[in-house]
Structure 1
Amino acid sequence: MIVRDRPNLFQLFFIVRGSIVRRILPQIIAIFLLSALIVWGHDERPNLIVAFNGSPLALLGIALSIFLGFRNNASYDRWWEGRRDWGQLVYVARGFARQTLVLEAAGDTGVEARKNLLRLTMAFAQALVCLLRAGSDENKVLRLLTPSEAEFYRAAQNGPDLILRLMSADLARLKASGAISDIQFQMLDISVGQMGAVQAACERIRNTPLPFGYTLLLHRTAYLFCFLLPFGFVDTLRWWAPFVTALIAYTFFGLDALGDELEDPFGHRPNALAIEALADTIEINLREALGETALPPLPQPQDFVLM
């Protein structure tokens, strides 16, 4: 996720980090060179490189803009829903840390049970990152688990769900031993269920992309529009056509590329959500709730990017 102050007018035209210029630069250069070739060819061989009225392209550009707007809105909804889900996880984890204070009334057994439950909550947040973002560091999860739990985790197809089952099993044992009442068990179990709801919502976003046919239609139309644009304005713009075409290509290809990044909110691109930083924040908050003082600093953006 890009984290930086709003740039001033001068900085606005020179910022590269966080923009999509690097991704679409080859397409822009290709469109510019194609436009220059068409202008040159039209001057040298007007019978071979013909021009046509650009009015139909204006209608196509309007339709393409509407389609891109719909797709980007849908992509942003996915991005924002993912951020809401992780915000809910932060809220539930902090609330769970407060709720487990009732366990300390059961003496040393309750204190140890609270430590185990919050340790598993930290592990759940880190495991959810590994599930949603391929290539994440699983050592962040394994260092929070006991050797037997780590063995189960490696064998599990769904690591976060396994950790939630371990938490539910701990709560069931506490209830069976009389360390907590039925009401306290229900209160704590509801929080575990809310963590599971966050995981299910994030899995739905990750496993349900936007319809491929819709995305394919937009990609094809954007390329077709930019390739045809020089033919429609070569007579009116002359050697300005490559520059104007490149600017229009930057707008359409940029919106298309930005929609791709927002469609995958848990990916590795700079505009993805900072789920690793949120998981680290949950761990720091829960360690502080356990009374630890040697805490690492909160995650900070590196080169304006927080992941």
Structure 2
Amino acid sequence: MIIRERPNLAQLFFILRGSVILRVFPQILVVMAMSAMIVWGHREAPQFVPSVAGAPFALIGIALSIFLSFRNSACYDRWWEARKLWGELLAVSRHLARQTELFEERSDEARQGRRAILLLAVALTDETVKYLRGGDCPNNSTMRLLPADVASAVKASRHPPNEIINRMGRELIRLQNARLITDIEFTLFDRTVTRLADAVAACERLRNTPVPFGYTLLIHRTAHLFCFMVPFGFADVLGLVTPLAAGLVAYTFFGLDALGDELEEPFGTMPNDLPINAISTVIEIETRSMLGETDLPPKPEPDRYILM
């Protein structure tokens, strides 16, 4: 995610980090080069490179803009829902740490049970980041914080986040059977763990259910065809300025298309995707501080305006 102040007018046209210009620049160059060839061909051999009326392109451009806005709205809804889900993970982790404070006044076994549950909650968010993005756990919380046998079982599981949630539930059952928590307290804690499970499952749903491919393909094709054809409608009216105008049109349409691609996958590692690794680190800092630990990881900070 891009973390920076709003640029002033002098900076506005020179910002590259976080802009989609780098992704669409080759396509823009192709459109501008083709536009220059069309203008040259129309002047030198108009019988082979005719120009056409620009009115149909205006109508097509309006329709394409509406289609792109619909797709970008759908992609932004996915991005915003993902942000709310990770906000839920952060909030529920805080609730769990606060609710289990009552264990501290009961017995050493109850305190150990609280510590086991909260460290599992920390590992849960880290394993969820790995599950959503692939690769390794960015914070290595499972191997660092959990007992060796538990960490090995989690790593060997086909679905590590679900394995962690199941172990949190089994730890609550153990505490209830040992009469360290009452039935009412067990129900309260189980609901909190269920909220964590629901948030992880919703993230999994977003990851595995993209915007329908046919809709995306239609937008991609139409945007490219429009940008490749629009110089024919500008050649007579704009003349030598046609490549610049066509490049501006291409930047707008290709840029909106590329931005929609980034927002469609909110858990990715593109500059405009969600900083779920940073949120996971914040959860670890706050949860372990509630356990009285001081050897905590540093607070996440943007690296050249990008927070991952």
Structure 2 unaligned blocks of 5 or more: none
CA distance in 1, matches of 2:137, 2:179: 38
Aligned to 1:10: 10
Deviation at 1:56, TM superposition (A): 0.6
Instruction: Describe how 1:139-158 pairs up with structure 2 within 5 A.
Output: 139-158=140-159
Aligned to 1:124: 124
Percentage of matched positions with identical amino acids: 51
CA distance in 1, matches of 2:35, 2:177: 76
CA distance in 2, matches of 1:98, 1:206: 30
TM-score (structure 1 length as normaliser): 0.98
- Does 1:302 pair with 2:298? no
Q: Could you say what secondary structure the match of 2:203 adopts?
A: helix
Aligned to 2:105: 105
**Structure 1 runs, 4 residues or longer, greater than 6 Å off:** none
Q: Which amino acid aligns with 2:80?
A: W
CA distance in 2, matches of 1:133, 1:142: 18
- Does 1:89 pair with 2:89? yes
Deviation at 1:54, TM superposition (A): 1.2
- Does 1:79 pair with 2:85? no
CA distance in 2, matches of 1:62, 1:136: 45
CA distance in 2, matches of 1:140, 1:181: 30
Q: Could you say what secondary structure the match of 1:122 adopts?
A: helix
- Does 1:276 pair with 2:274? no
CA distance in 1, matches of 2:191, 2:12: 47
CA distance in 1, matches of 2:166, 2:259: 38
CA distance in 2, matches of 1:295, 1:146: 18
CA distance in 1, matches of 2:251, 2:227: 10
CA-based RMSD:
0.9
Q: Is the 2:168–2:193 Cα contact (8 Å) retained in structure 1?
A: yes
Structure 1 unaligned blocks of 5 or more: none
> Per-residue displacement from partner, 1:32-58 (whole Å, max 9, x unpaired)?
000001001111111111111111111
> Per-residue displacement from partner, 1:51-82 (whole Å, max 9, x unpaired)?
11111111100000000000000000000000
- Does 1:35 pair with 2:35? yes
Q: Could you say what secondary structure the match of 1:297 adopts?
A: coil
Instruction: Describe how 1:101-250 pairs up with structure 2 within 5 A.
Output: 101-137=101-137, 139-250=140-251
> Per-residue displacement from partner, 1:154-189 (whole Å, max 9, x unpaired)?
221110010010010000000001000001111111
TM-score (structure 2 length as normaliser): 0.98
Deviation at 1:146, TM superposition (A): 1.5
Deviation at 1:6, TM superposition (A): 0.3
Q: Which amino acid aligns with 1:39?
A: V
Q: Is the 2:275–2:307 Cα contact (8 Å) retained in structure 1?
A: yes
Q: Could you say what secondary structure the match of 1:143 adopts?
A: helix
Moved more, 174-183 or 100-109: 100-109
